[in-house]
């Protein structure tokens, strides 16, 4: 039974990590129907910015709680700035044209950001100091769940609640839902669409940055290529849950995390990813719009 529990928690950790990134994918997709390939790199830049801030602060001799909190905040700020800038340069001019052009532009931007960090920083793996203190009440279960994992669960839950509140009860949330439904109509009724889209990128990017900092301190290392694989996985999770729906992104991420964890545990980790993809295909065959996605049947 213990084995099952640990696999379950392992899957939960993976799922929460994917969720923090998948939320960014879903929000951006919901608003301008773009698969933001560069989102994985935003996550990586968030982790790197966090690492830089941590190094500078440790040199100044701050204590560890303050460092991790400040690092996370600054990382979120900078990633948001990157998200905002990328949208203005690579996606805004393409808003009128066909969707595939924006996709290729995103791919180009992802390649650019990877090499930008490779050249500016280093190609090696850099160790990531784990500043999340081990809480004493977790001591007895140390071998089952660690403090960094607990922080990830809490962060994901917190982000989910805040986001739901933002979307459901704030004016900007209403505007975002309107733009997601029909961009031109929202413009007609006076919604500043550009501001809403920028705001979506800012929120999506900062959540990814939070994920970046937490995950890097959990894994303990980071390099310029970290964002690519996790980005693809998070995108799979977002689609699995029904692209465009926030709860769908979280559900899809958790399902993907558990699938990978249980298949590795009970069958073999060689074909771990194969099972994850087969599982995705199966779900999409029976629910072509993902678990919670709204299947927009064409009105004939």
Partner 1 sequence: MKKRFGRYFVLIALVTLTGMVLFACGQQQEQPAEATKEAAPVEKAVEPIKLGVAGAHSGDLASYGIPTVRAAELIVKKRNAMTGICGRQIELLVEDDVCKPEVATNTATKLVTDGANVVVGHICSGATKAALGIYKESGVIAMSPSATNPALTQSGDYPNFYRTIASDDAQARLEVDFALDVLKLKKIAVLHDKGDYGKGLAEFAKGFLEGDSRAEVVLYEGITPGAVDYSAVVQKIKQSEAEAVIFGGYHPEASKLVQQMRNKAMDTVFISDDGVKDDTFIKVAGEFAEGVYATGPVDTSSNPIAVDAVELHKKEYGEEPGAFFLNAYAATLALLNAIEKSGSTDYDVLTKTLQSEWVATPLGIIKFDEKGDAIGVGFAVYQVQNGQYVTVEF
Partner 2 sequence: MITLQEIKKSFLVSLWFMFLTFPIMVIKVNTIEQTIEWRWWWMAAVGLGAFVLSFFWRIAIARKEAGKKKAEVSGEEKIALIPRLMSNPRFYIPGLVATVALVVIFPFVFSMYQTNILITALIYVVVGLGLNIVVGLAGLLDLGYVAFYAVGAYSYALLNYHFGVTFWMALPIGALLAFLFGIMLGFPVLRLRGDYLAIVTLGFGEIIRLVLENWNAFSFGPSGIANIPKPGLFGLKLSLQQSSIFIYFVMIGLALMTIFVVRRLQDSRIGRAWIALREDEVACQAMGIDKTRTKLSAFAMGATWAGMGGVVFAAKTTFINPTSFTIWESVIILCVVVLGGMGSILGVIIGALVLILLPEYLRAFSEYRMLVFGALLVMMMVFRPGGIVSGVRRIYKFEGLQNKVDS
Interacting residues toward partner 1 by CB under 8 A: 3, 6-7, 9-11, 13-14, 17-18, 115, 118, 122-127, 142-143, 146, 215, 218-221, 223, 225-226, 228-230, 233, 260-262, 264-265, 268-270, 272-273
* Contacted by 82, from partner 2, partner 1, none: CB < 5 to 8 Å by type: partner 2
User: Tokens standing for 173?
Assistant: 């949330």
CB of 238 to partner 2, least distance (A): 9
DSSP letters of 231-285? HHHHHHHHHHH-TT-HHHHHHHHHHHHHHHHHHHHHT-STTHHHHHHHHHHHHHH
The answer to whether 291 contacts partner 2 (rule: CB under 8 A) is no
* Contacted by 146, from partner 1, partner 2, none: CB < 5 to 8 Å by type: partner 1
Q: Alpha-carbon torsion 19, 134, 124, 201, what sign?
A: positive
The answer to whether 184 contacts partner 2 (rule: CB under 8 A) is no
- 222 strand-pairing partners: 126
Cβ atoms of 118 and 224 within 8 Å: the answer is yes
The pattern of x and - marking residues 98 through 117 that bind partner 2 according to CB under 8 A reads x-xxxxxx-xxxxxxxxxxx
Rounded Cα gap, residues 12 and 237, in angstroms: 13
Q: Which of 73, 81, 172, 291 binds partner 2 (CB under 8 A)?
A: 81
Name the burial class of residue 97, with classes exposed (0-12), middle (13-18) and buried (19+) by CB atoms within 10 angstroms of its CB.
exposed
Residue list 53-72, contact with partner 2 (CB under 8 A): 53, 55-56, 59
Residue list 249-278, contact with partner 2 (CB under 8 A): 270-271, 273-274, 277-278
């Amino acid at each position: 039974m213990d084995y099952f529990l640990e696999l379950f928690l392992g899957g939960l950790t993976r799922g929460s990590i994917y969720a923090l990134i998948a939320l960014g994918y879903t929000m951006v997709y919901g608003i301008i129907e773009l698969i933001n390939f560069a989102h994985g790199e935003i996550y990586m830049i968030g982790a790197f910015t966090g690492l830089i801030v941590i190094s500078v602060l440790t040199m100044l001799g701050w204590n560890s709680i303050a460092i991790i909190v400040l690092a996370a905040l600054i990382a979120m700020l900078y990633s948001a700035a990157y998200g905002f800038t990328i949208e203005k340069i690579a996606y805004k001019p393409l808003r009128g044209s066909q969707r595939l052009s924006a996709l290729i532009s995103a791919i180009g931007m992802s390649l650019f950001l990877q090499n930008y960090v490779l050249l500016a920083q280093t190609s090696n793996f850099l160790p990531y100091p784990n500043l999340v203190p081990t809480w004493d009440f977790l001591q007895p279960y140390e071998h089952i769940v660690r403090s960094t994992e607990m922080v990830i669960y809490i962060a994901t839950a917190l982000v989910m609640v805040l986001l739901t509140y933002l979307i459901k009860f704030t004016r900007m949330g209403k505007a975002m839902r309107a733009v997601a439904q029909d961009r031109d109509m929202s413009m007609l009724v006076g919604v500043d669409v550009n501001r809403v889209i920028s705001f979506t990128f800012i929120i999506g990017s900062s959540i990814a940055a939070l994920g970046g900092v937490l995950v890097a301190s959990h894994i303990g290392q980071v390099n310029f290529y970290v964002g690519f694989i996790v980005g693809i996985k998070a995108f799979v999770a977002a689609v699995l849950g029904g692209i465009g729906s926030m709860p769908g992104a979280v559900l899809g991420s958790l399902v993907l995390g558990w699938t990978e964890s249980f298949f590795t545990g009970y069958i073999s980790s060689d074909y771990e990813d194969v099972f994850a993809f087969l599982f995705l295909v199966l779900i999409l065959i029976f629910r072509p719009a993902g678990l919670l996605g709204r299947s927009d049947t064409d009105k004939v």
